[in-house]
């Protein structure tokens, strides 16, 4: 996660606690982002991160739907997700090798 933040030049960015704005609508503009390769690279890196960070799945899926022609507002949304990652850098699912073939699952059912 820290490598992704450094690659984006956001290693020291301000932290956020939600990956998507909960208070305002995002206005999509038509101005294309000037470095779509950077957008694609970072969105792809975030996509791999969703394996151990399911809390990012929805936001990253939204970003990846615009890889063909990202706009400036899509870039702003991607930066918001990166700020969220910065604030939650120690969150993740632990995936490790097991000698047992048993499957254990936990659920919170109300």
Domain ranges of the chain: 2-12+35-87
Residue 2 has pLDDT above 70, yes or no: yes
Which residues, in sequence order, are CB contacts of 17 under 8 Å at separation 6+? Answer: 84, 87, 88
What digits encode the pLDDT tens for the residues 17-74? 889 887 777 777 889 999 999 999 999 999 999 988 889 999 999 999 999 999 999 9
Strands of the chain (E only): list them: none
Residue 34 to residues 31, 37, 59, 70, Cα–Cα distance (Å)? 9, 9, 22, 9
Token reading at 57:
């799945």
Q: For the whole model, what pTM was predicted?
A: 0.79
């Amino acid at each position: 996660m820290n490598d992704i933040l450094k690659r984006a030049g956001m290693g020291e960015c301000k932290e956020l606690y939600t990956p998507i704005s909960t208070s305002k609508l995002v206005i999509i503009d038509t101005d294309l982002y000037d470095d779509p390769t950077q957008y694609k690279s970072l969105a792809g890196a975030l996509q791999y991160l969703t394996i151990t960070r399911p809390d990012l799945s929805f936001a990253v899926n939204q970003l990846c739907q615009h890889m063909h022609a990202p706009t400036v507002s899509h870039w702003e949304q991607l930066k918001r997700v990166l700020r969220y990652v910065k604030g939650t850098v120690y969150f993740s699912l632990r995936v490790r090798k097991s000698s047992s073939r048993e499957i254990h699952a936990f659920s919170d059912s109300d």
